Structure 1
Amino acid sequence: MANLKQYNMYINGEWSPPSNGKYFESYNPATEEPWCQVADGQSEDIDRAVNAAYQAFQNPEWAGLTSTQRGHLLRKVGDLLSDNVEELARYETRDNGKLFREMKGQLSYMPQFFYYYAGLADKIHGDTLPIDKQDMFVFTNREPLGVVAAITPWNSPLYLTFLKLAPALIAGNTIVIKPSEYTSASILEFMRIIEKAGFPPGVINVVTGFGLTAGSPLTSHRLVSRTAFTGGVESARKIVRNSAENLSALSLELGGKSPNIIFDDANLHNAVKGVIAGIFGATGQSCVAGSRLFVHQDIYDSFVEKLVARVKEIKVGDPMNEESEMGPVATAAQLETIESYVSLATEEGARLITGGKRLGNSGTGWYYEPTIFEHINTSDRVMQEEIFGPVLSIISFESEEEVIQKANDSNYGLAAGIWTKDLGRAHRLVKKIQAGIVWVNTYRSISPMAPIGGSKLSGYGREGGIEAVYEYTQSKTVWINTSEESMEDPFKIR
């Protein structure tokens, strides 16, 4: 216990110990051993952080900055992030088990998000309205909301925090970040970059702890104007109920059960790689994981054979090893969830093609084999419910109409993949597939310019692109009477 690194919260520009004096351990998924201690935040700590953010929102040190000046601050964050990629990637890998080379690659790209929003900062504006009254000049402004609560999950802590942080800040808001209790370290290390960038105290705060004792007081706090959440459906339902206390605006990105569709004219070499990237990249712990694979019946056997051969070659191992292709799952609880779904798939009559068991013994890391099942019915629970692990379900199809129906037979609607050389077919499916993101002949591509979000149980609202900025602003309408004539009847609407 004594040699574990200890993290306090970051509140009002200071490193603050928890009000109850308690800390909890964070575990390295590759070793199953605790490696740091994190502050166990309580409602008192949340209140301090939100009040600090509220005061900072009104403070001229922040509120008095021009949008261009806010953009300069974000650009500085991007520069500092570029200088600290490897260090932050090591913290992230140690905390959630993702491949170091994957995190290093992801974080190397993340400065582009800050540069993009820095460039947008002074280009967010209202409109002049062509009003139907000649003596009135009417325009709109876009203004910040106030204090934003950002709740982030354990699978990509920094990336999913940046998606909220950058647009919220350039809009002029202040923010309180509550990372997952499983992966708080990388966010707290990132605050050292924020300190160097020169943000006024209270603009960015981080509180750590558990959902009930930290998340709930934050999302229901009377001074929170917006909550941006990425995570599971059940947690989202609690946040929606909490928002009734403060009537805060919400954006919810809740994952999915995304279809990946392979037609008989597809480039099969690329499609195999795309399927692997979609479900075995990040050990399947991705909101957009392509966990449902639909393969045209004319190429079904040959495609599955090629896919299985490559999957069996996937190198599962230490995430710090540059040769590893898949690391451990992030938590012991998630490993148990994966095991239970694999057992359920067998009970439901699905045929196990490859994988299906834990790798190693207790104490040697939370590793699980890349696993593939063949299904007959899309109604199987394993075809319907998000597993969030390296488990792929395959089913064949005959026609466009059939695969559209099967792909849309889901309570989720976040992402989809389509593999075909027929662009007419691609456009037809893009219109009919119920998903907020559709990739054609690629998968898991990202850009700061592209919105992310879904429908149905995948949530609502958008992150990324200019749309995200609108999520963090509100429109104000201004009426100016240009006439010098006396007022008309005050009891008659103008």
Structure 2
Amino acid sequence: MSTYNIERVLHYIDGQFVEGLAGKSFTNISPFNNQPINEVAEGFREDIDRAVQAARRAFDEGPWRTMSVEKRLGYIIRIAELIEANAEELSYLESLDTGLPVSQTKKQAARAAENFRFYAEMVKSRMIGEAYQVDQSFINYTIHKPVGVAGLITPWNAPFMLETWKVAPALATGNTCVLKPAEWSPLTANKLAHIIDEAGLPSGVFNIVHGFGETAGASLVAHPDVQLISFTGETTTGSEIIKNSADTLKRCSMELGGKSPAIVFEDADIESALDAVVWGIFSFNGERCTANSRLFLHESIHDTFVDALKERIANIVVGDPMEKETEVGPLIHRKHWENVMNYIAIAQTEGAEVVSGYIPETYKEGNYVAPTLLLGCTNDMRVAREEIFGPVMAVMKFTTEEDVLRMANDSKYGLAAYIWTNDIKRGHRMAQGIESGMVWLNSQNVRDLRIPFGGSKSSGIGREGGHYSFEFYTETQVVHVATGDHHIPQFGKKPRTGAKEQTYGPV
């Protein structure tokens, strides 16, 4: 694949690419060799304020929310077309920035374009109201109106797809927005700004401020002129965002961490289950919120399944993310690598057997973690309870349906779950018994843009995706219309009998 010129990344505010007011920057580091890629303008409170003011003007005074739906959605379709035209560069930048294999980032670019096309269609076909007639006297109806300025805070795993997943419904429904992308993955967010600039959106409708969560992100959350905060990321950060947004009564959507179970019963299609759980934890370098990081195997198939897992991880291709054969690349940042490696060390101290794949010596400068199994785990171990967010899977044994359901639910997280059984009644019992926002039954993690996405417990608040996004990105307004004669109570129309004249004011 060809390389592209990687320049300094600037903020995009009010239709212009600009430096931060403080003139500071930070270095973007390659996960492949930990060498600098480029410099990125660092944003602070004053940059967030400038971006929010631009978004506020564009919402209050600009044409975005008042233009015809057809014209606004024409811009949305144009963004999708430009994403498709730049797909090769986007997949390259995503791999360069994150370490994700390019074979996987190519698919993410296609999904990103589909996000915009999908919401252009959804606004036309599903952003509809309801009407309620009361005899011949009234008709009450609902409409969806854009809320205002949306603050969008996105993570570094699959960043481009997740950025577009938020930007597309925010803009399609008539809001303006300020995007604060993850500081570890600025390249495709910057390319998105160039794409939107080329699409010709009115100034201020879309803005980006790069920077760190503690400064730029916190300032976006606290800003009084931001009505919405959509956040995808770690649970502790999400909790802080909710606390910090309370003073300004923001609407928040939180897609947070996970420790999702995969449960394989003795009657499952073993080969399909094996394919699914290997893909589910080791694709995207294991940096996936819905990864099946806990694997529960029925005792009768445990040993055979584990032997097959060992063979699979020995054959997974760990390598250069730019090579099409690579299946697992480096983790995004050295700090994250250290955290994942620390969990592997914890697993050993807790008594788990650690089985890892192979990393070629030529990649020792990168943030590589070999695909790893933690065998002999129990559900009370830290490595079975805490989110590792890497290519590491804790494997456990179970005996009965009741036993595994209890263990699966014994977690503070509740994002996703995967069940493998050919007993369809048991499959439905398990799916409905598991405490998670999403369950896949005899399936790997496949996404339909029409369905809601989100978790329960510490895995999130709210749902986005499909028409469910309208609940977050729009205000439902009720209009009451009198259509006939009706009685209106009369207050103060008749003088009181025997009432004395009342004098108001000074005497």
TM-score if structure 1 supplies the norm length?
Answer: 0.95
Higher mean alpha-carbon deviation, 135-144 vs 216-225, is at 135-144
For 1:32 and 1:287, the matched residues in 2 are separated by 24
| Corresponding residue pairs, total | 488
Deviates more, 1:33-42 or 1:480-489: 480-489
Counterpart of 1:95 in structure 2 is: 97
Shift of 1:119: 0.7
Residue 7 of structure 1: SS of its match in structure 2?
A: coil
Q: For residues 406 and 275 of structure 1, what CA distance do their matches in structure 2 show?
A: 18
Q: Is residue 234 from structure 1 mapped to residue 236 from structure 2 by the alignment? A: yes
Cα offsets for 1:23-49 (capped at 9, x unmatched):
110011011111111111011110010
Which residue does 2:477 correspond to in 1?
476
Question: Which amino acid counterpart does residue 394 of structure 2 have in structure 1?
Answer: S
Taking the TM superposition and a 5 Å limit, the aligned residue runs for 1:70-469 are 70-123=72-125, 124-131=127-134, 134-355=136-357, 360=361, 364-469=365-470
CA, structure 1 residues 303+477, in 2 after alignment: closer, same or farther (shift >3 Å)? same
SS, match of residue 302 in structure 1: helix
Q: CA separation in 1, counterparts of 2:474 and 2:486?
A: 36
Task: Specify whether residues 491 and 242 from structure 1 end up closer, same or farther in structure 2 by C-alpha distance, changes over 3 A only.
Answer: farther
CA offset at residue 382 of structure 1? Answer: 0.7
C-alpha distance 33-241 of structure 1, shift in aligned 2 (>3 A): same
Structure 1 residue 379: deviation in Å?
Answer: 1.1
Per-residue deviation at 1:482?
A: 2.8
Q: How much has 1:213 moved relative to structure 2?
A: 1.5
> 2:498: which partner in 1?
none
CA deviation map 1:251-282 (0-9, x unaligned)? 00012000011111212111111111111111
How far did residue 452 of structure 1 move? Answer: 1.1
Following superposition, the deviation at residue 412 of structure 1 comes to 0.3
1:57 maps to 59
Give how far 1:4 is off. 6.7
**Secondary structure of the structure 1 residue equivalent to 2:8:** strand
- 1:136 Cα offset (Å): 2.1
User: How far does the alpha carbon of each residue in 1:376-397 deviate from its partner, in whole angstroms, 9 at most, with x for none?
Assistant: 4201111000000111100011
- Once the two structures are superposed, residues 278-337 of structure 1 have per-residue CA deviations (whole angstroms, 9 ceiling, x without a partner) of 111111100101000001111111111111101111111100011111000001011110
Call closer, same or farther: CA 1:361–1:234 in 2, change over 3 Å. farther
SS in 1 for 2:247: helix
Closer, same or farther: CA 247–34 of 1 in aligned 2, 3 Å: same
Structure 1, 288-297 or 266-275: larger mean CA deviation:
266-275
Structure 1: gaps of 5 or more residues: none
State the distance in 1 between where 2:168 and 2:270 align: 38
Contact 1:220 1:242 in 2 (8 A): yes
Helix, strand or coil at the partner of 2:63: helix
Aligned match of 2:502: none
AA matched with 1:82: E
CA distance in 2, matches of 1:303, 1:199: 53
**Could you tell me how far apart the structure 1 residues matched to 2:362 and 2:215 are?**
33
- 1:285·1:389 contact (CA, 8 Å) conserved in 2? yes
After superposition, the C-alpha distances for 1:68-115 in whole angstroms (9 at most, x for unaligned) are: 322222111111111111101111111111001100122123322211
1:21-40 equivalence runs, <5 A: 21-40=23-42
Displacement, 1:361? 8.3
Contact 2:12 2:18 in 1 (8 A): yes
Q: Which moved more, 1:71-80 or 1:300-309?
A: 71-80
* Residues 343-386 of structure 1 deviation map (CA, whole Å, 9 limit, x = unaligned): 1111111122335x987589721101111012342011110000
- The alignment's C-alpha RMSD in Å is 1.8
1:101 counterpart SS class: helix
State how far apart, in whole Å, the 2-side matches of 1:80 and 1:217 are: 31
8 Å Cα contact 1:360-1:367 kept in structure 2:
no
Equivalent residues of 1:32, 1:363 under 8 A apart: no
Structure 2 CA distance for aligned equivalents of residues 484 and 74 of structure 1: 45
Letter in 2 for 1:313: N
CA–CA distance in structure 2, aligned partners of residues 271 and 323 of structure 1: 23
Query: Percent of pairs identical after alignment?
Result: 39
Contact 1:221/1:245 (<8 A) preserved? no
Give how far 1:248 is off.
0.5
1:217 match: secondary structure? helix
SS in structure 2 at match of 1:139: strand
- Is the 2:377–2:394 contact (alpha carbons within 8 Å) kept by the matching residues of 1? no
**Any gaps of 5 or more consecutive residues in structure 2?**
494-507
Q: Tell me, what secondary structure is at the counterpart of 1:366? A: coil
Structure 2 counterpart SS, 1:317: coil
Amino acid corresponding to residue 125 of structure 1 in structure 2: I
Q: Distance in 2 between matches of 1:137 and 1:170?
A: 28
Shift in Å, 1:486: 7.0
Cα gap change, 1:363 to 1:59, in 2 (>3 Å):
farther
Describe the SS at the equivalent of 2:198.
Answer: helix
State the AA in 2 paired with 1:438.
V
Q: CA deviation at 1:206?
A: 0.5
Q: CA deviation at 1:453?
A: 0.4
Report if aligned partners of 2:130, 2:142 keep a CA contact under 8 Å in 1: yes
Query: In the alignment, residue 129 of structure 1 is paired with which amino acid?
Result: Y
The answer (yes or no) to whether the contact 1:359–1:367 under 8 Å persists in 2 is: no
> What one-letter code is carried by the residue in structure 1 that aligns with 2:415?
L
SS in structure 2 at match of 1:19: coil
**C-alpha contact 2:319 2:360 (8 A) present in aligned 1:** no
Secondary structure of the 1:395 match is strand
* 1:190-248 Cα shifts (integer Å, max 9, x gaps): 11111122211111100000112101110110000000000011211221122023110
What is the CA deviation profile of residues 398-439 of structure 1, one whole-angstrom value per residue up to 9, with x for unaligned ones? 121111111111100001111122222211111111111111
The AA in structure 1 aligned to 2:348 is: T
Do the aligned residues in 1 keep the contact of 2:43 with 2:209 (CA within 8 Å)?
yes
The amino acid across from 1:314 in the alignment is I
